[in-house]
Structure formats: structure tokens, C-alpha cells
Structure 1
């Protein structure tokens, strides 16, 4: 099976390509570094030609609201058009748990628009929403840092290892289109500030994490349960946060 991975050289994409190749598939990474630009369309038709499945795990180039919306809508329209021309029968996209519950985030609004384009495209699809990656915790702390302190709200999170997300993606990419949304989350629920405090301590980072209910998450206000899946809805991964921290 030929599978094109948009964003195939990033954190998730590179691992997904390796996993799919290990399963015997022809996995093709498509990103600007491989000569494929989904926003301009450069190299897209050639990359998608003969593909059975396209998996879009690209993360965007900016979190600024306008830039994020432009990236995700333009790139998605271009990819879907290339898929129609190539006869691709399954489109898979990686999205975010709670993406439709954080309207204050321009990045999340852009991902909602991306999902809508896919659902309305007529191409059989699967949408995989994941919670925050363990690998993303440092970026969360950095985004909330003010000098030697990190201000984070005590919103609930159920973070997951990137490797566990890749395993679910590989299963879905090589299976039939779901025409639905699947959520993936880690095995434990924490408070956002608690996750950052624990990780920084393990990493020897001396910054102090302060719990602030009014602190924004990448500029957006969070309801307590905005970032966690509804109970019983998600596929629950197996890697505990503490084990991941020790292995890192």
C-alpha cells in the first residue's frame, strides 16, 4: 500500500513513516524538506500519484490565528484536490482532543476548519484527535513562562506518548475509512500545572510553576475539561507519564 504522510519529517510524521515501512508499506514523507509544499501545491501531485492513503499530520508553521487558518485551510484544500485527481480512497488527519471546545485559540479554530473541509470533501476519511503529547510539555511550560516562573491553569489533561499516538495512526491508516472521529489519550488524568511542575523537576529546570486559574493556555482561556476526552470515548494508551519521563 502506498501511503503519503503530509508532515512526514516531523515528530509524529517521521515515526509514522518508519512504523508503516516496518509493516511493509510504501510510506512516502511529504514536507518542504522533501520537495512537497502543501500550501503552495509544489510537488503535491507527484507525491500523491498512485497513493492509496494520505495521512496529514502536519502541525502548521505558526500559532498566530490568521497564519494558522491560512495554513490549515489552504493546505487541506490543496491536498484534497490532489487526492481527488489521484483517486486516493482514504484521507486521515491528526487533530486535537477538545479542538472544538477552545474557541479562544486561533490554532484550534483553524483545526476545526480543517476537520470541516475533510468531512465535507466527499473523500472517505478518518479524523484522529489526540491529547497533548508528553513531548509537548516543555513547549507548554515555555509558552507560559515569565522569567523564572511558569503560570498555568489547573485544567485537566490526559497527556499521551507520541509513540502511542503513532501506533493508533498506523492502525487507522492501514484500515478502512471510519468516516468518524477517534480520540486517543494517555492512561492518566492530571492537572496541567501538575504535569509541568513534575516534568520540570525531573529535568532539573529551576523555574517555579504557579497555579493560576486565570492563566491562558497559548493565549486562550480553558474550561476545566476542555482538553480531556469525554469519559469512555477515547482509546486509552498504555505508557504512563512517569515511565516516559524516566526513559527520556
Structure 2
């Protein structure tokens, strides 16, 4: 079965210089702390060659459900989360929120003429709630929510949205499997729209995100090379079989 063409866009979301420098400085500091901790551990292991590595310690769980739900913002309580008072300022400072806003302004209708639905996926549950607060106007514009904001863990495997043909990925996933599952939300056999659009919001200024993208590119090239070698070996074996015959 031939599916509609899929248009993939890598949207570069650069950071402000001061934010980028602060993040890079924080990353270098964390890396140095890890190195120092590792070297100290090595020194301790050298001192105590008979260190009992199998020793376990029972820790007391201090974080209770009562403490986690203290603010009661999830149940509509009087106390509100800290960023709700500055949600617009927080969104305006994010290049990814600007990119999302630009994409949402181009929302139209699906192949049946119904209001288009769009899916936004992220790895961090906190971002789901922040985007929900900032995009309230879009969500209540139709009888059914026009925007689905969630994480892959919540949606689970096999979820598809028939009316959606646009997908926004807020961050790269370590596993290519997760990225493929994200695409499957709109890339399915019941997709009747003329084309599908996947927007991958990329922030190359962050070292971790850049490493993930480089790792994925290296993995793709490795898999391509492995398939090529397997095909060449198969051709050579077929030639040998013909020669023996």
C-alpha cells in the first residue's frame, strides 16, 4: 500500500548567545565534576582492594505522595505552579515555542474539510503542561481539541490520530525506535491526506542534543554500510555457487 509522501523538516532553533554560553559553561562544569568523582573513586578502589562491592544499604524514602502533591495544582487547588504567572514570558524566551507558534498559524483543514489536528510530542512531562497552558486558545477553538500534546510514554505503542497529518517533535530521542514510533502517529494506512509533515525542532547549541543527532547519523551510516556489505557477500556467494555447478 502506497502512503502519501512525508515531508520532514529539521527546524533549527538556535539559542541566544548568553543562554548558549551559560548552558555550555554548565555542561563543562558537570563533565568536570563527573571526571573528578570518577578519579576519586579510582583512588578509593586502589586503597581498599578488598572493597565489598556487594554491600547494599536500605535507604529511607523521604518523598511521599503528600509532599509531591502539596501544591495541588493538578486538582485545581488554590496554589499554582511557579511558572504559571510568567507563562507568556517563558514561552516568548523559547525559540521552540516561536517555531511551534509559526506552525500553528498555518493550520488548515483535513481532506474531509474538518479542522486540522496536530500532534506535539516531547520527552518531558513538565513541558506538556507548560505548552497546554500557553496554547489554551487553540485547544478550545473546536468541539474537540485541535492540538494533542503528550509524551510517547503516555500515548504508548500503536496510537494513531486519523485526522492529524502534522507532527512536531520537540527533541531528538536517543533511540531511533522512539523516533519511528513518533512518526507512526500520523504515518499509517488510514492516512488520506495528500501529504504529511513532520517538524523536528533541533537545538544544535546544546551539546547533549548535538551528540544525539551525531549518534543517529553515525548509526544510519553504519546500518547502510552493513546492508551494502551483506548484499555484496550474498552476490559473491551466488557467484561461487554458480562456479561450483
User: What TM-score, normalized to structure 1?
Assistant: 0.28
User: Greater RCO between the two (CA within 8 Å, min separation 6)?
Assistant: 2
Task: Please state which structure has a larger fraction of its residues in strand.
Answer: 1
Larger Rg: 2
